Amino acid sequence: MTRSMSICIVCCVCLLASCSSQPQNDASKMVKVQQMNPMDDFNWLLGTWQQDLGEETIYESWQLESDKAFVGKGVTVKGLDTTFVEYLRLENTDSGLFYIAMVSHNPEPTLFRLTSTEGKFVFENPEHDFPTRIIYRQISEDSMLARIEGERDGQPAGVDYPFKRIK
């Protein structure tokens, strides 16, 4: 065997070895596609929030239920009495992301669709009596502003709920 034939055989063997079907462990050659979960944008909301109004205190708390839902509860307390309770959900569905409120004076849960995420989260349901819009805006790590808007007696109305994180 000639020297050039030996070199050719060695090159062919090296070429075949480099084309092996075995997976390579080189992490720089692996591309991992990661999808964003829209619920991640709401993680700052998790915990317990409080607004002290002097005679009344409003609490709102949120917990992670799954990667598609948060559960929440709003409670208003006056002295030792609970004067208002609402059960809340943030849920990511195939139809969109919804804020769902369940209160005693409504026989069915009320759904508000997420319509904007520009600096704040805006949920809307134009068919509901009041509110028709619910807005959450993070002010700082431990401060947020919740706002409800709509019409009362044919006039634009809104109520602000500035909250401080307590847990």
Number of domain units in the chain: 1
Q: How many CB atoms lie within 10 A of CB 49?
A: 23
Question: Is there a contact between 90 and 99 (Cβ–Cβ < 8 Å)?
Answer: yes
Q: 156 is in which domain, residue-wise?
A: 46-165
pTM of the model: 0.77
30 belongs to a structural domain? no
Residues 46-98 have pLDDT tens digits of: 999 999 999 999 999 999 999 999 999 999 999 999 999 999 999 999 999 99
pLDDT band with cut points at 50, 70 and 90 for residue 20: very low
91 belongs to a structural domain? yes
pLDDT band with cut points at 50, 70 and 90 for residue 35: low
The pLDDT value given to residue 64: 97
CATH value at residue 53: 2.40.128
63 belongs to a structural domain? yes
Q: Give DSSP secondary structure letters for 118-166.
A: SSSEEEE-TTSSS-SEEEEEEEETTEEEEEEEEEETTEEEEEEEEEEE-
Question: Is there a contact between 22 and 16 (Cβ–Cβ < 8 Å)?
Answer: no
Find the length of the chain: 167
